[in-house]
Every structure is written in structure tokens, then in C-alpha cells.
Structure 1
Amino acid sequence: ALVDDNVFTNLMARSNLSTAVDAVQRYPEQAAALGVSAEEATSWRLAADQTHIPYNDELGVHEQHAGFTRHEKWDFADTGSDQYPLLLHYPYFDLYRKQVVKQADLVLAMYKCGDLFSAEQKRRNFAYYEALTVRDSSLSACCQAIMAAEVGHMDLAYAYLGEAALMDLDDLENNTRDGLHIASLAGSWLALVAGFGGMRQKGATLTFAPRLPGRLNRLAFRVQTRGRCLRVEIDSSAVTYTLTAGEPLTIVHDGTRLTVSTTPSRPMPLSAHSPESAPEQPHGRRPAQRP
């Protein structure tokens, strides 16, 4: 069995193995040329099926790694702002035996492997890890923006979008002089498209569940997919889909299949959500609220 302590690594290995098996089945001649047999591909599938995903039944959350939720929680209240990033001030021996998270990890897994989690599990997991994630990495805010939007915390998602997009413009980490945070810049696109656009890829099909925070009244983007160029335009009440090039394309909007052509689709309602009180972040680590 393929077993790993890190949930994101774990789930991505499971997803990648399954994708590799599908590729062997779809392209048998190329697989044979590479010396990949059907028996070997079957063993990959067995490994993927036996991947371990830790879960705490008492708390109702998945674990960052096996046994993580049984660790003592980090003392955030007595950690000063000048002691971040934590890894520069505390030994790994101390960090790894406490409940503290450098960057969104399990949260990222819920985005990349979303079908493996229920909506309730996503909500509970997000709230639990939000209170433990200190964002000592510029890779974190964009992932938290995506999942905050999915579980309905739109203002929080907007705050994280601002952090990802302005990482260098506002020199938030005081190190832009050393070079741009390219992954964070790319992550701001993901926060917009996967977060507020709700875009996911399910096999060969693109799905959307768009919703906007109150501070945004319009979002438009284009996506190249399967030889077509799809334009998505969202305003405060509806979304339209249009192909700028290519044959008609079937997508899924908020659970409804929709065939899109070069004629704009009828306006489709935004994805509904029930706003809840946003979860708290570690003391002193709340993202800045932006206009």
C-alpha cells in the first residue's frame, strides 16, 4: 500500500496514479513502447486504492498528517509578530510536534482532490486549519482564498486574494528586493478563477460554481480548453458563457449541463451559499482587510 503522512502528498499520489492508469488504458501502443504492462498498471491502481487518508472521528476533521490532531496546539498568544516566520526562530523538533501549519496543505488537497471530500467535511476542515495556519509561505494565501470562496466565506476569500496579488506590490514579506513571488502572482489568478469563478476540471469537463464577494461587481476571464477558447463573464447577479473560437462545448454550471457556442449563453444565476461567521486565524495572523 502507498501510505504517506502528508495528506496533500497522499491524495495527489492517489490522483496521479489513477491518471497514469487511465493513460495506459487510453494509449496502449505508447504504453507498450515504454515497457508498461497491464499488470503493472493494475498494481498502480491497487496502490491508489489503498492510499491512507487520516481522519479524526471525534473532531470530524481530516488530519494534516497521521496523529496531527493529537498534538499540543502552538501557543500563538505568546508568539510575537517578530517571531515569524516560525522556522527561523524555533527548531523543527518543536514545530513538528505541535499543531501549527506553515501553509495551506490539507486545504490545498480539498481544492485539487475536491471529490474526495463532502461539503460538510470541507467546511469543518477549513475552519479547523484556518485557526492553525500562520502563512509563513507566500504559497498559502491563494489556496486559502479558493477554499474560503467554496465554503462561503467571501470576504475572507477577498482578503486572501489581496494578499496573494499584492505580495510584491506592497512588499508584504519585506523581501521583494530578492525577487518576485511568481507562484503567488499565479496564485492570484487561481484565487479569481478557481475561487470566485468556481472552476474545476472533472475529467474532460470544466465545471463552474461562480460567486462574487461584495467588493467585486464584475469578473471576466478566458480559458483555453480542448481546442476552444471559453469566455466567462460574471457580474453581481449572473454569469454568461461564450466561445470565442471552436466547436460547441459542454460545461457544467452549478450542477447543470450547459452547451456553449459562439452565441452568449443565457444569464445563469450565481451559485448560492449560506454566509457564516468566518473562522478565526492564529493571533496576529489575520489577513488585512482591503477596500
Structure 2
Amino acid sequence: MSTQQLQSKQSILEIENLSMAFGGLRAIDGVSMHIDEGEIAALIGPNGAGKTTIFNCITGVYKPTEGTVSIRNKNGQIEHIHGLKPDIINHKGLARTFQNIRLFNNMTVLENVMIGRHNSLKAGIFKAIVRDSSTKEEEQRVIEESYLILKKLKLDMYINETAGNLPYGEQRRLEIARALATDPFLLLLDEPVAGMNAQETKELEETINIIRDQEHITILLIEHDMSLVMNVSERIYVLDYGRLIAEGTPHEIKRNPDVIKAYLGE
């Protein structure tokens, strides 16, 4: 798709003919998809279909074998990001969570979120050592902003708790809070409700809607919980053996014979 088309549709993420090979294995094979500003989209498919590989290509963990990944950045400009390092992509406004929780378990809840604010810090090494007034003011700002994020995600009561001591559902939400601390315009959630009970899943469903509706952050998620996917998603992409086999609304996907055969079941 051309840059002009990308601009006209107000897509903020565009993937074109993306392929990823590991030796003789083609994990992703010519996938094209786009995510529009302000939507919640889902990427679903059987285990091993290539969903997380796509996330890794988007966020710089992998350099795609073929194809392009483009974003509309915070200044409204279109730029390619495939092949860039993860920290650079994060700085441009993309944040993600992982299938396996990756918190700093021995640090407090607040400290975990403060780490996510490092991209906004302006103080250099010298100022950090001498701790002048501007550095102290910046540190206080980071504390206040981190607390506000925790409050929005209903984690403020755990502010001084060690992250590793949180219940599983709260650890999942804390990982999202840390991702939000990087100030993204696009949030990628990799199986956010994996291992959660029904109540925790419901609470996280509400959190996902709050992030989109109140924080105006676009969301792309990978998830096997079809109830969550159908409830929150406006657009669903379906992968099977590294290829895109369907795209549509939840209503369309539920009735797509190829999707039923490959993933949802008869």
C-alpha cells in the first residue's frame, strides 16, 4: 500500500508482505495487515501460527526476512521501522507486553513503572550524580506520573509492594502499566489474560477498554480467550501456519468457514 493510501485511511500501523524465515522454516509468509488509529484489533490463530513472531518483527526483536513495517508517528509522519532496534521503536511510540510476565520482581510496583518512564528523562549522567534542582524536579515528576498510571489501572494500593508479591492478575496489569509509562500511541498485548481466572479476565477486559477510550491508545492484542477477543475487538486477523487466512469483524470471523476449520472448531 502506498504512503498516500496509508494517510487517507489514517492507519497508524501498516504491515506489507511480511515474511520471517528461520533457516528452512518460514514462520511468517507474506502477511499484510493494518491497524487504524483508535481501534482495538486482535491477531488470533492456533499455537505456532506465527502471532508472536509478527509482534517480534513489529517491535524490533526480529528483523523481517522480507516486507515492511510502517507507522504513522506522533508527528503524523509515515516512517518505516522494520529492522530498527527495540528501544528505538519503543521511543517512537510502540510498547508491548509479553506472554511470560517480565517484571522486576524484587523492585516495588512504583519502581517498575518508573523504569518505564526512562525515555522521558532529560538529565544526563553528570546531573544524576550532582542531583541539581532540575534533576530532583524531574525525578518528582516521574514519581507523580507513575503513580497516576497506577491509579488509572487500580494498582495504586500496591504502590510500595514488591512486584513479585502481587497476585497473578495484578502482575499482568502492572506489566501493562509499565508499558503505558513509555507513553505509547500503540500498545501490543501478547496474551494478556493467559492464566487468569474469569474475574481477572473481566477486570482486564475493562482495563483494555479504558486504555483505548480514556487514554486514546490504539491496541493490537494476541489472545486465545475468544470471549475477550469477541468482546473488545473491532477487527480480527486470523493466522494459520504463518499465513493470513481471514480478516473481519468479530461477527464475520465467527462465521468464516476457514477460521472455523483452522481454529475455532466445528
The alignment's TM-score, normalised by the length of structure 1, stands at: 0.28
In our comparison, the structure showing a higher alpha carbon Rg is 1
After TM superposition, the score normalised by the length of structure 2 is 0.30
Normalized per residue, which structure has more strand? 2
- If asked which structure has higher relative contact order (CA below 8 Å, sep 6+), I would say 2
Structure (1/2) with the larger helix percentage = 2
